[in-house]
């Protein structure tokens, strides 16, 4: 009888438990291995799609390609003249993204190469999460691509993903610095500074956000230095100087040239007016009639939760959510996949309620939510994608980062895996894999229809494009070197100096 009691002894329980845990860990490693293969295949598909296809979205031809071509010296003002509004924005907007895009275009000979800028920025965010928070590359990559707008923008010519991924990287660096005080502080500070400079240099709309994040970064760095008994004022002076040089230069240039840091948008504060050709009312034209007059924070919340935001679309998400009538309740709303948002927030709140490391993450995300809800046109979620990127990254960190180790972390890690996998598969199914296909619009499909009009020109002619000005670049020497000619995108009736005028509808 005594010999039979040994298996039931307390000494035997840990052995059984250890064996069970080991089995679970082996199963998880197998799952992670399979997911790594899937993520690598998806990454290959994304790169092939990016280099093989061009996106036909409105802003791409309207100004992203023209700005990139001029910034990189591929097509100057004589090659392609912009209409007044587009020219003003070229002079006033920061152009780091467009310069990078244009340089890749210049090297590879195709604008499709510029898509690698966004891919590289998103991949860089995944690499940082792996290096600093131990998040497996595969799960972060799929976690980000499970966001519809990210999946769409990663192979587009828009600046939104690149700039917002940079903001997200800086925010995550700041969060890590706030929680950890190790030898990597200098590296993470430098990464955050570089990321904020890229964001502010790529999208004027994000300059105020970068300044807020920069202030938070400065406070955290100073606190860390003081707690370590080091002098804080040299670092403070350096960070302020870097902000003035790297984040705010376009504001200074606009103030100097146009008398308004936020040019071309007119700014009114009481009787004080900063001039600009665009008013906030014009900016507000992205607000559908059914949401006009509603509080900005309510529009943002409705957009994040996709309240009546997917009606009338097939697939349910587009690059700007603007492909429905202005009178539709879905106009410019949605893009994050509401069930994914809710599931991630649920995981964060569950960890926060248990009193462990989830609390600072929840507080950080809550502060970001308040910030986003107060930003101009925040309901257009592509403008402030950093919020969703940080939510995904922070939830992954709760599951994988040893800093958040707790009895509940293994369960969190499994739930995060399941949430990401279900969300990614759901978005792919709901879109019919539209944004992961390698068949679609190629550069020749856009330029071939313009060839006959260019071939009929005499050398040295000035072809003016009247009407749909976004197509003007397709007639330029960028795509039709012979005969030598000039292209101008003009407003109706502004045909002075035109050898020939082509009206598009």
**Structure confidence at residue 21 (pLDDT):** 62
Q: Quick one: pLDDT at residue 15?
A: 41
Helices 296-304 and 358-374: crossing angle in degrees, nearest 10, is 120
Residues of the chain with pLDDT under 50: 1-17
Q: In whole angstroms, how large is the CA radius of gyration of the chain?
A: 26
pLDDT recorded at residue 9: 35
User: According to the model, what pLDDT value does residue 280 have?
Assistant: 58
Give the span between the Cα atoms of 266 and 289, in whole angstroms: 23
DSSP states of 365-376:
HHHHHHHHHHST
- pLDDT value of residue 18: 55
- Give just the sign of the alpha carbon dihedral 99, 105, 111, 117: negative
CB 86 within 8 A of CB 62: yes
**Strands ordered across the beta sheet of 485-490:** 80-81, 485-490, 461-466, 500-503
Helical H segments across 113-184, by residue range: 116-133, 137-145, 148-153, 160-179
What tokens does 413 get?
């890690």
Q: How far apart are CA 98 and CA 103, in angstroms?
A: 8
Give CA–CA dist 363/371, Å, rounded. 12
């Amino acid at each position: 009888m005594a010999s039979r009691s040994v298996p039931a002894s307390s000494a035997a329980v840990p052995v059984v438990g250890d064996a069970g845990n080991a089995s679970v860990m082996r199963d998880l490693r197998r799952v992670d291995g399979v997911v790594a293969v899937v993520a690598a295949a998806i990454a290959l598909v994304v790169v092939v799609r990016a280099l093989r296809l061009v996106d036909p979205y409105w802003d791409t031809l309207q100004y992203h390609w023209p700005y990139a071509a001029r910034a990189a010296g591929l097509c100057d003002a004589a090659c392609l003249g912009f209409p007044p509004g587009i020219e003003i924005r070229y002079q006033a907007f920061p152009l780091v993204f467009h310069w990078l895009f244009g340089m890749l275009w210049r090297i590879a000979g195709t604008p499709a190469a510029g898509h690698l800028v966004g891919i590289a920025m998103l991949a860089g965010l995944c690499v940082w999460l792996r290096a600093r928070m131990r998040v497996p590359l595969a799960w972060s990559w799929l976690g980000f691509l499970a966001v519809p707008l990210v999946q769409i923008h990663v192979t587009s010519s828009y600046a939104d993903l690149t700039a917002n991924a940079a903001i997200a990287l800086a925010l995550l660096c700041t969060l890590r610095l706030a929680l950890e005080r190790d030898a990597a502080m200098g590296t993470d500070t430098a990464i955050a500074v570089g990321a904020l400079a890229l964001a502010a240099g790529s999208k004027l709309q994000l300059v105020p956000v970068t300044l807020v994040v920069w202030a938070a970064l400065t406070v955290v760095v100073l606190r860390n230095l003081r707690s370590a008994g080091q002098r804080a004022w040299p670092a403070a002076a350096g960070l302020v100087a870097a902000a003035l040089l790297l984040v705010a230069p376009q504001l200074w240039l606009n103030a100097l040239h146009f008398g308004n840091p936020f040019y071309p948008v007119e700014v009114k504060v009481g009787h004080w007016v900063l001039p600009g050709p665009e008013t906030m009312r014009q900016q507000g034209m992205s607000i559908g009639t059914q949401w006009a007059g509603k509080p900005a924070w309510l529009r943002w919340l409705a957009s994040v939760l996709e309240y009546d935001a997917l009606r009338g679309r097939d697939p349910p998400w587009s690059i700007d959510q603007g492909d429905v009538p202005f009178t539709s309740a879905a106009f410019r709303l949605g893009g994050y996949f509401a069930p994914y948002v809710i599931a991630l927030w649920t995981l964060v709140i569950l960890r926060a309620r248990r009193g462990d490391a989830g609390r600072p993450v929840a507080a950080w995300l809550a502060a970001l939510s308040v910030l986003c809800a107060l930003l101009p046109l925040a309901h257009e979620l592509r403008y402030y994608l950093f919020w969703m990127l940080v939510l995904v990254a922070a939830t992954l960190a709760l599951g994988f980062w040893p800093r958040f180790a707790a009895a509940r972390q293994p369960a969190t890690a499994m739930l995060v895996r399941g949430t990401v996998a279900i969300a990614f598969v759901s978005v792919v199914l709901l879109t019919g894999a539209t944004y992961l296909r390698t068949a679609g619009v190629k550069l020749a499909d856009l330029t071939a229809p313009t060839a006959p009009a260019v071939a009929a020109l005499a050398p040295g002619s000035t072809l003016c494009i009247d009407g749909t000005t976004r197509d003007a670049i397709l007639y330029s020497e960028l795509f039709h070197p012979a005969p030598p000619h000039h292209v101008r995108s003009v407003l109706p009736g502004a045909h002075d100096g035109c050898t020939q005028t082509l009206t598009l509808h």
